[in-house]
Structure 1
Amino acid sequence: MHGELRRTTQVTTRGDARSEVNSIPSTVTVEALNIKRKAAAGKTHIDVGFWGGAIPGNEGDLRGLHDEGVFGFKCFLLHSGVDEFPHLTADEMEADMAELAKYDSLMIVHAEDSRAIDHAPTAEGNQYSNFLASRPRGAENVAVAEVIERARWTGARAHILHLSSSDALPMIASARRDGVKLTVETCPHYLTLLAEEIPNGATAYKCCPPIREASNRELLWQGLLDGTIDCIVSDHSPSTVDLKDVEGGDFGVAWGGVASLQLGLSLIWTEAKRRGIDLPQVMQWMSAKPAELAGLTHKGRIGLGYDADFAIFEPDSAQVVDVNHLHHKNPISPYNGRALAGVVKGTWLRGQRIDFQNPLGRMLRRGDV
């Protein structure tokens, strides 16, 4: 799945939280890409592909990374959270988009506007309402508008990462009707969790953009059903308990991110089932569409010529999440204790069952068949 591929693109070398930005070195040159591939080879239990990074000053490296098979390029429009992966201004993003348009590569964008965030209230303290106010919908909306217009002007393909603001849906739909090459994803935490239910000090729920209100969640589901949102991806962002500031409960200092890779299918199925949405539709959002977005022509479905990647899923079974029984390295999750519908009983990669003992994964390049 696209989301899983993106979130595991860079091998974690420091034990830090967010793999795509704070794994050293950032994948912004061919040399760094080769270091990552060498580090990951023979150690992965799934097939792993890499995304490049677009940062100030590396425009000249983009073509080389593209030719080496990255799936596309990620950029931020505000501070990424780590100094090793600086963000682009809208003008710098436009220049990089113009470059990527020459060879039809894809720019994937963390769309929050830095100026709007700078003018928002502080997030410090244990009040979730303060954190939510510190990452307002307007910051997303302004940034999404920038992505749309720069994609329109350059003709580049652009993808909005982890959309949480339903306010942006009408302009996304309008841009697509105009022919702008735009795709959009959202994530399990935005489709299952509610700001109104998050306890103060519960930093396990912190992610950026934030989990918003119930009315917002329902509009995101509608965006999926009407096709404005293309896919659901994990945005898997694990963190140590220390970085989450569990004891202090301060949203201003806690690491932002939700680890949901193992639970994603059950999370979405729980909500989809309640809404009368069938499992084949869920598979379109979580498997077929992400694979299509990343250009994985041999993954995302079961069919002749595909890789026989599949899971055995019991949709009528149930489970209660226990972080101590997950395969996650760090036992922290906002879903701990949550009752979910559906249980994954096993996963197969290219026809072989993943046993967590023998790494079966391969390094993928764009267009691999």
Structure 2
Amino acid sequence: MVEEKDWQGNFNSGEVIDYGDAVVMPGLIDVHAHLDDPGRAEWEGFPSGTKAAAAGGITTLIDMPLNSFPSTVSKETLKLKIEAAERRIYVDVGFWGGLVPENAFNSSALEDLLKAGALGLKSFMCPSGINDFPMTNASHIKEGLSILAKYRRPLLVHAEKQQEHEGYLDLDARSYSTYLKSRPASWEEAAIRELLTVSKDTRTGGPAEGAHLHVVHLSDAKTSLDLIKEAKSSGDSITVETCPHYLAFSAEEIKDGDTRFKCSPPIRDSANKERLWEALMDGQIDMLSSDHSPTVPELKLLDEGNFLKAWGGISSLQFVLPVTWSYGRKYGITLEQLTSWWSEKPAKLAGQDLKGTIAIGNHADIVVWDPEAEFDLNEDHPVYIKHPSNSAYLGSRISGKVLATFLRGNLVFKEGKHAPDACGVPILAT
């Protein structure tokens, strides 16, 4: 049962709504989403992205510092993000700052970014595809960790390290196998090996004690995962996430030219998918995120189908709860595990002590959903992301319908309708 507020945040005369056998659980926290506002709002803006989040049971998301323009790499560009979000967001939104070569050795610039409210920093160990967000190396990461240690905030790392190889250049660019060859698992392994040379600094007594490393969207469930597991056992402060698209799809089923499925790191083979599920169920993978990385259809090259040129990113923000549940039932996932992967551990990573659990004194961020309700993701299903045709999930039949979403006790989504006013607030570190 949930005591419901109306759209204006007023209690309905103490009315208690009985949702029967529906699940009532903490709202999801997505620590990895690209909303591209300001500067590229035609890809995805704060209003459309946060409406999609609310419709999917996400009550908090943390926006990545790149794909918007300019990238969020200074206190000034963070201010632009905050201004773009105010009074336009339907869920709470926090912000990661960017660690890039231009600020990595400028301690005052990084501290200003953190003091301005960035919840942590994000870096790439390979080209990001965004001109004003260049890649970092181990030296940049080490400098960033030394600053983050003072603020006890995390560094999130896209862990792929480009290796020289040309074995795919003369192959068919419409074939998914060609794209898979262009970004092999060895890229992830090489990056994580390099990353772990500095992660030991996060151990008790190390020069970066108090900092934390977080590996985003892990796709390789072989050596890369073993290296992270070993680092954890040695005392490194490190966590890792994967994404629903790596758990739902496998390379063998991706058709030639269907660039909706292009992302980086790539979706790998079915054996790798099984190992990811095993690692998630065993607790080796700590949490899940969407890595919602949208763009306009013309950059996805849906007509051309060129995997080597198309924009890489899975549009998924609205679907992650039912997708995780639908594909996870085969493996026996529990509601407690869903809450851990999507609420409790993401809240801890983002430093949000008042979110992630339903408890006295916490924010009343709640999703109500029916795990048995099946539905088809097609043109008849309301989809709130800006470019639904880009999503790899269209055409799927999944279970787990969101009935209502509450943000800080306010009803923000119910039965296909959003609150008339955006009541989400920017989340800033203090």
TM-score by length of 2: 0.81
- Whichever structure has more strand as a proportion of its residues is 2
Task: Decide which of 121, 126, 139 is 2:168's aligned counterpart.
Answer: 121
- Displacement of 1:323 in angstroms is 5.1
Specify the alignment match of 1:348 in structure 2. 406
Paired amino acid for 2:117: G
Deviation at 1:125, TM superposition (A): 1.3
Please say if residues 92 and 426 of structure 2, whose CA atoms lie closer than 8 Å, have aligned partners that are also in contact. Answer: yes
Correspondence for 2:271 among 215, 220, 226? 215
Q: Provide the residue aligned with 2:125 in structure 1.
A: 77
**Which residue in 1 is equivalent to 2:20?**
none
After TM superposition, which residue ranges in structure 1, 4 or more long, deviate above 6 angstroms? none
Per-residue CA deviations over 1:155-190 (Å, capped at 9, x if unaligned) read 341000000000111111110000011000000000
Listed as ranges, the gaps of 5+ residues in structure 1 are none
For residues 2 and 343 of structure 1, what CA distance do their matches in structure 2 show?
Answer: 14
Q: What are structure 2's unaligned runs of at least 5 residues?
A: 1-26, 45-63, 202-206, 413-417
Aligned twin of 2:72: 27
Give the distance between the partners of 2:157 and 2:395, measured in 1 at CA. 33
CA drift at 1:224? 1.2
Displacement of 1:16 in angstroms is 5.5
Residues 54 and 117 (structure 1), Cα distance of their counterparts in 2 relative to 1, 3 Å cut: farther
Looking at structure 1, the residues matched to 319 and 66 of structure 2 have their Cα atoms a distance apart, in angstroms, of 23
Residue 24 of structure 1 aligns to a residue whose secondary structure is: coil
The answer to whether the 8 Å contact 2:31/2:346 transfers is no
Q: Distance in 2 between matches of 1:259 and 1:161?
A: 17
Q: 2:82 aligns with which of 15, 32, 37?
A: 37
Report the more deviating stretch, 265-274 or 123-132.
123-132
Choose 1 or 2 for highest CA Rg.
2
Residue of structure 2 in register with 1:173 after alignment: 229
What residue is the counterpart of 2:152 in the other structure? Answer: 104
Equivalent position of 2:217 in the other structure: 162
Change (3 A) 1:323 1:29: farther
2-side partners of 1:348 and 1:8: how far apart? 22
Correspondence 1:4 to 2:30: yes
Distance in 1, Cα, partners of 2:154 & 2:251? 32
Residue 11 and residue 2 in structure 1: after superposition, are their counterparts in 2 closer, same or farther (change >3 A)?
farther
Paired residue secondary structure (2:297) = coil
* Equivalent-residue separation in structure 2 for 1:117 and 1:259 (angstroms): 30
Contact 2:322 2:401 in 1 (8 A): yes
Q: Secondary structure at the match of 2:421?
A: coil
CA distance in 1, matches of 2:39, 2:73: 16
Distance of 1:166 and 1:5 partners within structure 2: 21
One-letter amino acid of the counterpart of residue 152, structure 1: K
What is the alpha-carbon root mean square deviation over aligned residues?
1.9
**Percent of matched pairs sharing the same residue:** 37
- State the partner residue of 2:93: 48
Match of 2:139 among 88, 91, 98: 91
Offset at 1:306?
1.2
Partner of 2:16: none
